[in-house]
Amino acid sequence: MNSIFKYVLQFIVLVLLQVLVVDQISLGYASQFIIPSVYFLFVLMLPLTISNGALMLLAFLIGMMVDIFKSTPGLNASAMVMLGYFRPYLLKLIEPREGFDVLKTPSIYSMRKSIYLGYVTLASMVFHLWYFTLEVMRFSDFHLILLKTLCSSIISVLLIILAQYLTVKRK
């Protein structure tokens, strides 16, 4: 499959999955603490060789698209740009001694499972911490920000791992 077409398709599918499925899940009382996100998987699965400028632009575009559907002007775009900024540092932090195969797309099958889990978990924490800090906008509620970040990250990581097992082809 053409590489550009593959990423356009991932972009569309992840935005639709987020706004039509994940955002519609009602968790009752827990919904005030758990706001799962799966669309940031798009940024995590971009090639390792992508330029930082292109990475930040694509992160902004997918965040803005989700913002349009959720009527949260700039909140998701900001969190995605933050994640795009930190992605190279996260990859450097978890990089094995032998390095990554830059020809492979980051996935649960192209990385060791423990490294991929660390990558997704750290990315989820960065994304949600920034998202909820902007949403709450009061450092006096930092405990609430941390609670929402932790709860949302756990569910998001589980959903992303599930999505990886269901959609990514083992090579």
Cβ contact 116:156 at 8 Å: no
Cβ contact 124:156 at 8 Å: yes
Mean residue pLDDT across the chain: 92
pTM over 0.85: yes
State the average pLDDT over residues 144-154. Answer: 95
- Tell me, what's the pLDDT at 96? 86
Query: Which tens digits make up the pLDDT trace of 119-136?
Result: 999 999 999 999 999 998
Gyration radius from the chain CA atoms: 15
Which range marks the domain in which residue 129 is found? 3-167
Number of domains in the chain: 1
| Exposure of 99 in the CB half-sphere (CA atoms within 13 A) | 5
- Tell me, what's the pLDDT at 3? 83
Q: What is the CATH number of the domain that holds 157?
A: 1.10.1760
User: Is 1 a residue whose pLDDT tops 70?
Assistant: no
Q: 100: pLDDT confidence band, cut at 50, 70 and 90? A: confident
Q: 168: pLDDT confidence band, cut at 50, 70 and 90? A: confident
